[in-house]
Amino acid sequence: MWFERNLRYDPWLITGVLALTGLGIVMIYSTSSITAQWTLHGQSTFFLKRQLISAALGIMIMFAAMHLNHEKLAHFAWPGLIVSALLLIAVLAPGIGMEVKGGQRWIRFMGFGVQPSEVARLALVLFLAFSLTKKQDRIKSFKYGFLPYILVSGMLMGLIFMEPDMGGAITIGAIMMIMLFVAGARVPYILGSIALAIPAMFYFMASEEYRWLRVMAWINPWDHLRDAGWQLVQSLLAFGSGGVLGVGLGEGRQKLFYLPDAHTDFILSVIGEELGFIGVMAVLALFTMVVVRGGIIAMRASSTFGAFLAFGISAMIGVPAAINMMVVMGLLPTKGLVLPFVSYGGSALVIYLAAVGVLLNVSAKMYRTR
């Protein structure tokens, strides 16, 4: 049976995801209304309207996915992987991919930008869940249980890196390693791959001046206040200005042309300024609740495929959320990763909500088997 009715879903997961999405809508209007008013011909609600449309679409898909038997998704593991790879290739083609700030990461579709790397994350999670379920007896083997996944993920990472999107490529790699670890792959293989990846990352960072400047700005942003360190400095000033309770919703100053991309990559900085330490901790608590509930759903899943799928979706949410938070607080060099559910970004929001719908269906099987 493809669709199921009268199921019971995890209430904590639904609450956490909808709370983050609602907070995101409020903060996107707060961070973007004034800049949009000045730069988009008086359209102060430009970003708000687009995010509301994406949220409505994403929530409809989430509720549909809640009733879709997740076991049937195994049929789409290979097709999904192939389609995502083709989209990543297409976005690099002249005339198809949209170039924004030096990166070619979006494809224009029906007036909206679709980011293939977001599709690739969910497709990889689905493929890994399907394949790891079938290879449980060979997961300890390097040839059959480790190397094939390195090659598949490496292909996706290479295409994403060419956009260029180093943060997105790292996220793909991290999700793969988490799923392999959970599946029981040998830890020395995982640690060895990470050890080999570190010099490669260092080389790629040093090979482009703008990437190396980001690293130098991360080490000491105040020495690069007028160039690569500007965004991080403004982010830190936003957190410092907010204090414990914040300056008040809508009253922040860093979003007024001081902090670039305030409604996307650095929206948590504005939350810190306007809602203070309390607001940031609330966001952290909501993400912790979502990821922890995802882990509990995985451990109580009724099938191995459902367990791997739940672990993968939890990693898909938790990894970019952790990286984004660490970046805006100066704990990692600047990367172009949005904060799931909260940052502005239509395709990302729809994909995340769709993934949560699948996770909720896994949770329904958990309640059924109690």
Query: CB atoms < 10 A from the CB of 163, how many?
Result: 23
Q: What is the pLDDT of residues 165-179, one digit of tens each?
A: 888 899 999 999 999
| pLDDT (0 to 100) of residue 337 | 86
Are 252 and 238 in contact by the 8 Å Cβ rule? The answer is yes
* Confidence band, pLDDT 50/70/90 cuts, at residue 257: confident
* Confidence band, pLDDT 50/70/90 cuts, at residue 218: confident
Domain count across the chain:
1
Are 337 and 265 in contact by the 8 Å Cβ rule? The answer is yes
| pLDDT (0 to 100) of residue 6 | 63
Q: What is the pLDDT of residues 57-72, one digit of tens each?
A: 999 999 999 999 999 9
Closest CA to 204 of 215, 193, 195, 217: 215
Residue 3 lies inside a defined structural domain of this protein: no
C-alpha–C-alpha distance, residues 121 and 136, integer Å = 22
Query: CB atoms < 10 A from the CB of 278, how many?
Result: 13
DSSP letters of 31-56?
HHHHHHHHHTTT-TTHHHHHHHHHHH
Closest CA to 228 of 247, 215, 239, 243: 215
Residue 93 lies inside a defined structural domain of this protein: yes
Average pLDDT score, the chain = 89
Residue 153 lies inside a defined structural domain of this protein: yes
Residue 2 lies inside a defined structural domain of this protein: no
Q: What's the average model confidence in pLDDT over 338-362?
A: 94
Residue 157 lies inside a defined structural domain of this protein: yes
**CA within 13 Å, CB half, 101:** 5
C-alpha–C-alpha distance, residues 105 and 164, integer Å = 8
Q: What is the pLDDT of residues 123-153, one digit of tens each?
A: 999 999 999 999 888 999 998 889 999 999 9
> In sequence order, what are the residues at sequence separation of 6 or more whose Cβ sits closer than 8 angstroms to the Cβ of residue 284?
325
Per the model's pLDDT, the better-predicted residue between 190 and 229 turns out to be: 190
Closest CA to 164 of 254, 104, 108: 104
Instruction: For CA atoms 127, 131, 133, 136, give the dihedral sign.
Output: negative
pTM above 0.85, yes or no: yes
Residue 5 lies inside a defined structural domain of this protein: no
| pLDDT (0 to 100) of residue 177 | 95
- Grouping H, G, I as helix, E, B as strand and the rest as coil, residue 163 is coil
Query: CB atoms < 10 A from the CB of 189, how many?
Result: 19
- Grouping H, G, I as helix, E, B as strand and the rest as coil, residue 115 is coil
Residue type, position 347, single letter: S
Residue 1 lies inside a defined structural domain of this protein: no
Backbone angles phi, psi at 225, to 5 degrees: -60, -35
Under DSSP, the state recorded for 103 is E
Residue 219 lies inside a defined structural domain of this protein: yes
The domain in which residue 112 lies consists of 11-368
H-run or E-run covering 100: strand 97-100
